[in-house]
Amino acid sequence: MIYLVVVLISLSVGLLVVGVGQAVTSQGRVVRQRLTEVRTGSFSKEAEARRRRQSRRESLQQFLETVGGRLNKPKSARMGAVARQIAEAGYRYENAVAVYLGLRVLGALLFMLLGAYLSGFLEDPLVRPLLIVAFALLGWMLPFILLKRKIRARKKALARGLADALDLMVVCVEAGLGVNQALMRVAEEMDRVSPEIADELTMVTLEMRAGTPREDALRNLSDRTGNEDVRSWVNMMIQTDKFGTSIADSLRIHSDTLRTKRQQRAEEEAAKLTVKMLIPLVLFVFPAIFIVILGPAFISLSEFFGGGVM
């Protein structure tokens, strides 16, 4: 029995060593291939396709920046609101406002051309310009609609993951970590559960590493997300720092409050389902039921009063 156990352990260790060796060898092979490609300038088909995609993406981005840069006026209040909306959607690219405006202009032009093509099938000359204008407005508004959807989705994701992040932060603070280290640790652990929370907390830690005071970094987080739950948490953190109260107790109470609000939101959405179900019921289900129930009676009445269905 002892010999069998020794043999099994030896086989397991051997397979483990072989597997690790193959993994290291394959990784080294990939690295050597990349270094050879860079040294000789001869790239594989996948690398060439990746480079072409990157080149096209950069060309399109530069074109959008050029087009949108003519409309971008950073000092105007309207452009400030646009920049805030783009930040709330999670885009932190330096020229994101110019790219967004360029997308709206390009969408308006493309949809206007599509409307002009479709208007060729219409016979009424008065409807053609209206169709072209309608398609141009649709192309102009489509990036705005998609941006709003992105903002709503990101705010919901932040609201869902904030309570769990605060629970982890309570554990970290009670384990002896400072607030800055706790934020960094929570950002690392929440990356798999809520990437949005992890991304925002990582940005806060990077700002604090760059020398920004913690209060200013947290206020930037509140302004950047535009979420009410995040804003209330930031205010709580700032007040706790000012008055010197227990950060762990404050975080625990606030996480319980956020969890209660999350449960209330779920109950509210569940209560709305009955009202939302009325629309498909009235439009699709009830007419089919009426046809199935009243159809034979209508046919019988038509035949009775002499004439058949026609």
Domain extent at residue 253: 156-262
Verify that 124 and 178 share a domain, yes or no.
no
Of 154, 186, 221, which closes a domain?
154
Of 133, 154, 175, which closes a domain?
154
Verify that 172 and 139 share a domain, yes or no.
no
Q: What confidence score (pLDDT) does residue 307 get?
A: 54
Verify that 103 and 139 share a domain, yes or no.
yes
Verify that 96 and 189 share a domain, yes or no.
no
Q: Are 98 and 68 in contact (CB under 8 A)?
A: yes
CA distance 169 to 174: 8
Of 247, 262, 277, which closes a domain?
262
Verify that 160 and 247 share a domain, yes or no.
yes
Q: What confidence score (pLDDT) does residue 120 get?
A: 81
Side-chain-side CA neighbours of 279 within 13 Å: the count stands at: 4
| CATH code, domain with 192 | 1.20.81
Verify that 71 and 130 share a domain, yes or no.
yes
Answer whether residue 49 is part of any domain.
no
Verify that 113 and 185 share a domain, yes or no.
no
Judge residue 13's burial from the number of C-beta atoms within 10 Å of its C-beta, 0-12 exposed, 13-18 middle, 19 or more buried. Answer: exposed
What's the domain count of the chain?
2
pTM for this model (two decimals): 0.69
CA distance 222 to 200: 10
Nearest residue to 138 (alpha-carbon basis) of 113, 112, 170, 173: 112
Verify that 163 and 144 share a domain, yes or no.
no
Answer whether residue 39 is part of any domain.
no
CA distance 16 to 24: 12
Verify that 189 and 177 share a domain, yes or no.
yes
Answer whether residue 226 is part of any domain.
yes
pLDDT tens digits for the chain (310 residues)?
555 545 555 655 555 555 545 554 555 555 566 666 555 555 566 666 777 777 777 777 776 777 777 677 766 677 778 888 888 888 887 788 888 888 888 888 888 898 888 888 877 777 888 888 899 899 889 989 999 999 999 988 888 888 888 888 888 888 888 888 888 889 888 888 888 888 888 999 998 988 888 889 889 888 888 888 888 889 888 888 888 788 888 888 888 888 888 888 888 888 888 888 888 888 888 888 888 888 888 888 888 776 544 4
- With vertex at residue 11, the alpha carbon angle to CA 6 and CA 17, rounded to the nearest 5 degrees, is 125
Answer whether residue 225 is part of any domain.
yes
Q: What confidence score (pLDDT) does residue 149 get?
A: 92
- With vertex at residue 100, the alpha carbon angle to CA 95 and CA 105, rounded to the nearest 5 degrees, is 125
Answer whether residue 19 is part of any domain.
no
Verify that 105 and 203 share a domain, yes or no.
no
Answer whether residue 22 is part of any domain.
no
Verify that 107 and 205 share a domain, yes or no.
no
Answer whether residue 218 is part of any domain.
yes
Answer whether residue 246 is part of any domain.
yes
Verify that 178 and 217 share a domain, yes or no.
yes
109 CB-near residues (< 8 Å, 6+ apart): 136, 139
